[in-house]
Amino acid sequence: MNHTEGILEAIHRVRRAQFLWQQTSLKDRAERISRFANAVVEHRKALSDEIHYPSRSGYLETISAELIPLAQTAHWLGTCASRILRPRKTSRFSTPMWLGSLDSQIQRVPRGVVLILGTWNYPIFLTGAQLLHALVAGNGVIIKPAPGCEEVTSKLAQMCLECGIPEDLVGVIGSSVQDGESAMKLGVDHVVMTGSSRSGRLVLQQSIANLCSSTLELSGSDGVIVLPSADLERVTKLLRFGLRINGGATCIAPRRILVPESMLGSFTRMLKEELSQPQGEPWSTWITSASYEQLKPLVQTALSQGARMLVDWQCNPELGKTLDYPQPQTRWIPSGPVVLENVTPQMDLYGLDVFAPLMTIVAVRDIEQAIEYNDRCRYGLCVSIFGKHQQAAQLATRIRAGSVLLNDLIVPTADPRLPFGGRGESGFGVTRGEEGLLEMTIPRVISSRRGKWLPHSDLPQPRDEQLLDSLLQFQHSASWSKRMQGLKKLFASFRSNSNQKNE
């Protein structure tokens, strides 16, 4: 059996298992998924030990950023999935007059076989949450892990078995790009992809060619708007957190900090203090050589155009090391934070999507200019606003992004109750939350006719035109006088019809 035949056989196995799984009651499916929370607890160290890329600081970061959110997701799905996916009936009281006695039910049915194209930066939470949503909705799942994530992905699949998920319902294929392309060509029903906007375009082209729907959770270059009423100590502490988490390999890390000119001096001084270790030295992480090569020329160009380093960028490519993560033979380089002030939207560095501890500080005159500058970025994943609640909440309604956070960064987006997705170059569709669960299904409508009244089954009669015209006028005219005219014509049509029958 060649490689393509192996993927095809995996899809066939999942499809056969899915046919039986969708017939399992929603309550039973939800109960099994809820067991996954305990499985996360039981396998927490084994899962964490499979995270090998050096920008992850250790078990503390894994348990807070991945394990706890995934366990909470399983618990939430077990509690709420039955309510969200239950059939919905139309009301008889709202049934249009011309439909007569019609009862309809809208059901949420699984898409079939869902292909998950995994990511390397959060392979436990992101892949795991998408997996659980797909399963509880009644789907079968094929996972193409990111390179380097093969073992942790297989562990997630094994944990499904421990929770009572049928053996063949989850299939894990190879981690190459070609494996994902083959799976789409060989026949899946929906694709969920987390990755760059460039990769998202390729996936979209392939899914369109095979008439396959997709959810694309893509790159981000998130903005932070600091209002004059903001608590700068709160802002700078959270920016330090956002810059450090996962070594900068986070799609919703704060990249563009829009600060009023009037408070720029105080802000930069406090941020510089926050970014220093107790001994006065900046902290360091690791970035890939690809990120370094992408970042270095843009930083140099920005400096030549008037930008300034808030802290010295400590980076020595000669001290790098080679790992098979996130691609085979990936070169990792030690790097400190890259924080530039006096950046403008005209610089190529502005709005850059890169997995590195990058932050740019942009001075703005007022709120209107902050909104203008934010809109110049083609990514729309998440924006944070800091300031008094009422003012920040009012501004949030004008922001083009999938998520808007008030007086916080990153963490609220891990709430399992909330959908997550972007706009523009950040993709479309959502994962997680009620909307993400519904996206793993398609609506099926079942309509039932009661009674014998079937006027559309009769041949057209001359009186039908006046009858329907008067009905339209009676039901939908803007003024009551025109509605009454329609009602009079409607009664006249009935009388005419009755007289013709008597004759």
Q: In degrees rounded to 5, what are phi and psi of residue 448?
A: -125, 130
Are 150 and 210 members of one domain?
yes
For 362, the token pair is 């942009």
CATH number at residue 120: 3.40.605.10
Using alpha carbons, list the distances in angstroms from residue 212 to 112, 136, 184, 204, 376.
11, 21, 8, 9, 32
Tell me what pLDDT residue 304 has.
Answer: 96
pLDDT digits (tens, 9 = 90+) for 167-218: 999 999 999 999 999 999 998 999 999 999 999 999 999 998 888 999 999 9
Q: Which residues contact 65 (CB under 8 A, 6 or more apart)?
A: 122, 125, 245, 246, 414
CA distance 136 to 242: 32
- Reading the chain (503 residues) residue by residue, the pLDDT tens digits are 577 889 999 999 999 999 999 999 999 999 999 999 999 999 999 999 999 899 998 999 999 999 999 999 999 999 999 999 999 999 888 888 888 888 999 999 999 999 999 999 999 999 999 999 999 999 999 999 999 999 999 999 999 999 999 999 999 999 999 999 999 999 899 999 999 999 999 999 999 888 899 999 999 999 999 999 999 999 999 999 999 999 999 999 999 999 999 999 999 999 999 988 665 566 789 999 999 999 999 999 999 999 999 988 989 888 889 988 888 889 999 999 999 999 999 999 999 999 999 999 999 999 999 999 999 999 999 999 999 999 999 999 999 999 999 999 999 999 999 999 999 999 999 999 999 999 999 999 999 988 888 888 888 888 888 888 888 898 899 999 998 998 888 888 777 665 555 55
Are 249 and 368 members of one domain?
yes
- Lookup result for tokens 């930066």: 121
CA distance 96 to 218: 42
Tell me what pLDDT residue 4 has.
Answer: 86
Has residue 421 been placed in a domain?
A: no
Nearest partner of 220 among 403, 62, 429, judged by Cα = 403
Tell me what pLDDT residue 97 has.
Answer: 80
Has residue 473 been placed in a domain?
A: yes
Give the residue from 395, 421, 444 where a domain finishes: 444
Has residue 78 been placed in a domain?
A: yes
Has residue 214 been placed in a domain?
A: yes
287 is in which domain, residue-wise?
Answer: 222-413
**Identity of the residue numbered 205:** Q
Are 357 and 483 members of one domain?
no
pLDDT digits (tens, 9 = 90+) for 435-489: 999 999 999 999 998 888 888 888 888 888 888 888 889 889 999 999 899 888 8
Tell me what pLDDT residue 280 has.
Answer: 55
Tell me what pLDDT residue 1 has.
Answer: 58
Cis omega (within 30 of 0) for bond into 460: no
Are 161 and 249 members of one domain?
no
Contact of 404 with 396, CB cutoff 8 Å: yes
- H/E stretch holding 257 reads strand 254-260
Nearest partner of 137 among 113, 116, 159, judged by Cα = 113
Nearest partner of 102 among 114, 91, 118, 115, judged by Cα = 91
- Kindly write down the DSSP assignment for every residue of 121-133, as one continuous string: SSTTHHHHHHHHH
Tell me what pLDDT residue 281 has.
Answer: 60
Are 191 and 264 members of one domain?
no
**Count of domains observed in the chain:** 3
CA distance 488 to 67: 68
Sort strands 102-110 and 441-449 into parallel, antiparallel or unpaired: antiparallel
Three-state secondary structure call for residue 196: coil
Q: N- to C-terminal Cα distance for the chain?
A: 80
Are 226 and 375 members of one domain?
yes
- Lookup result for tokens 């972007």: 422
CA distance 359 to 357: 7
Nearest partner of 290 among 402, 373, 424, 196, judged by Cα = 196
Three-state secondary structure call for residue 345: coil
Are 268 and 404 members of one domain?
yes
Are 39 and 131 members of one domain?
yes
Sort strands 140-144 and 170-172 into parallel, antiparallel or unpaired: parallel
CA distance 243 to 241: 5
Has residue 52 been placed in a domain?
A: yes
Are 345 and 372 members of one domain?
yes
Are 204 and 232 members of one domain?
no
Tell me what pLDDT residue 376 has.
Answer: 94
Has residue 62 been placed in a domain?
A: yes
Q: What is the pTM of this model?
A: 0.93
Tell me what pLDDT residue 101 has.
Answer: 86
CA distance 153 to 145: 6
Contact of 422 with 251, CB cutoff 8 Å: no
Are 207 and 232 members of one domain?
no
CA distance 349 to 342: 12
- Kindly write down the DSSP assignment for every residue of 380-431, as one continuous string: ESEEEEES-HHHHHHHHTT--SSEEEES--SGGGG-TTS-B--EETTEES-B
Using alpha carbons, list the distances in angstroms from residue 305 to 6, 45, 190, 287, 302.
54, 48, 45, 25, 5
CATH number at residue 262: 3.40.309.10
**Identity of the residue numbered 382:** C
Are 226 and 159 members of one domain?
no
Has residue 405 been placed in a domain?
A: yes
Tell me what pLDDT residue 497 has.
Answer: 62
Within 10 angstroms of residue 478's Cβ, the number of other Cβ atoms is 7
**Identity of the residue numbered 130:** Q
Has residue 419 been placed in a domain?
A: no
Sort strands 190-194 and 379-380 into parallel, antiparallel or unpaired: unpaired
